[in-house]
Amino acid sequence: MARAQFDKEQVLESAANAFWRLGYNATSMQTVFEKTGLKPGSIFLAFGNKEGLFKEALGHNTEQSLIKLESTLTQYETVEEAIRHILVSFIEESCQSNYCSCFLVKSQLELSDHQVELQDYVSERLRKIESLYFKHLLKTNSESEAQAKASSVMLHIFGVRVYGYHSQSKNQLMDALRLGLPWLAWPSVH
Amino acid sequence: MARAQFDKEQVLESAANAFWRLGYNATSMQTVFEKTGLKPGSIFLAFGNKEGLFKEALGHNTEQSLIKLESTLTQYETVEEAIRHILVSFIEESCQSNYCSCFLVKSQLELSDHQVELQDYVSERLRKIESLYFKHLLKTNSESEAQAKASSVMLHIFGVRVYGYHSQSKNQLMDALRLGLPWLAWPSVH
DNA sequence: AATCAACTTGAATGTTCATTCAATATTTGT
DNA sequence: ACAAATATTGAATGAACATTCAAGTTGATT
């Protein structure tokens, strides 16, 4: 019995990259064949169909994001400082010329009622992210405070992911985050 | 010379509805023909191509939104009260079973580098909305305060448009808005 | 009632789409 | 070395796609 000869992880990353950049509907399997160098048969044998490939690509991508997030949330003195750094890095991402929002957020908005399974899959991953913030905020907050703050952080992240498309938005975004998330103890500007 | 026999406004509304619900790429012209009852030739003569139809549909939709927004922002005692009502109505929208975020936000995230003209068109409309909030906030705020508050409101609106997909999110959203927009003077819950 | 530009019609076009499958190649167990 | 199991290949398939256009219809103007 012959084993897979292509690196599944590498294929998932190429596919995720295409789906992220172009969106689910605008990414043709043809594009995937080109980006991965694989032939139709191989892809369809390994992933079933386009939805299956998308689901695995998104899952793989999100898993990595969650690992990175967990690591970031513990590597600073306080959770607040960590969250500040995360938000600032999102703003900086949005200043790059090839800015493309966030794979999960884009997918959440693009998928329609015809793909309920994928929609639920995306929602579940976004909820996982929020519960990670919640878990860490619980260390220094009551349950209800932590929940409200976690939701507020998610709201601001979503906001940045959309607002980021406006060019020249860096300063406006920073001011808005300072105003909306005062409990993050932003260093004063002098 | 025979005049157009279909109601252009009605066609644009049907088209906008489809584009909004399904997204630009997942909406086929076939769908548009069915929803409007028109034949290919009529649509293509009137709007040039799919992009042209999309642009006009989005433009028409946004124009109506701007009119409604302007009206809402002036019909309450204070701007703050008006914004509160707008945000609450967005949350209530998100509780409906057929919730579908916001046409502009969805379009902003779906369109890719291959449709720069449409992208810019969407960005411009979103900026118009922000400047409307800014204009009204200027009445009771300094320029820099008004700008930060307008950006913060946009951030929260974008957030609600994404967060709204989570079921059972109404209370979490309300708490997060109270936390992130304290200057809106929310009535206390008792 | 004749004219003619503007509009509508809908079958036809050529392209691109996701997916299939018979043939071929490769790896592993015996 | 052979057999069995599994991967890869890539041309082929049929459906769906955006768009075109020649022929027909409409209604205001002459």
pLDDT tens digits, A149-171: 999 999 999 999 999 999 888 99
| pLDDT value at A113 more than 80 | yes
**Which of B25, B26, B159 is closest, CB to CB, to A156?**
B159
Confidence of residue A76 (pLDDT cuts 50, 70, 90): very high
CA angle (B59, B65, B66) in 5-degree steps: 90
- Contact call for residues A20 and A103 (beta carbons, < 8 A): yes
**Domains of chain A, each with CATH number or no CATH:** 8-184 (1.10.357.10)
pLDDT at site A176: 98
Q: SS3 helix, strand, coil % of chain A, rounded to 5?
A: 75, 0, 25
Taking residues A71-87, report their average pLDDT.
98
Select the highest-mean-pLDDT range: A14-18, B1-5, B110-114.
Answer: A14-18
Interface test with B, best of A107, A144, A163 (most B CBs within 10 A): A163
| Chain B partners within 8 Å of A101 (Cβ) | 109
Distance CA A167, CA B122 (A): 13
Length of chain A equals 190
Distance CA B152, CA A180 (A): 6
Confidence of residue A4 (pLDDT cuts 50, 70, 90): low
Confidence of residue A3 (pLDDT cuts 50, 70, 90): low
Q: What is the largest CA-CA distance in chain A?
A: 67
Confidence of residue B27 (pLDDT cuts 50, 70, 90): very high
pLDDT at site B39: 97
pLDDT at site B169: 85
pLDDT at site B190: 76
CA of A31 to C1' of D12 (A): 19
pLDDT at site A190: 76
Q: Taking Cα atoms as reference points, which of A89, A88, A70 lies closest to residue A79? A: A70
| pLDDT value at A189 more than 90 | no
* DSSP code, position A49: S
Both structure tokens of A174? 């920073």
Distance CA B190, CA B188 (A): 6
Taking residues B104-109, report their average pLDDT.
98
Count the alpha carbons within 13 Å of B89 in the hemisphere toward its beta carbon: 10
What average pLDDT does chain B have? 96
With CB atoms and an 8 Å threshold, state whether A163 touches B155: yes
| pLDDT value at B74 more than 60 | yes
| pLDDT value at B1 more than 60 | no
| pLDDT value at A1 more than 60 | no
CA of A29 to C1' of C23 (A): 23
Give B183 to chain A, closest Cα distance, Å.
Answer: 10
Taking residues B8-22, report their average pLDDT.
97
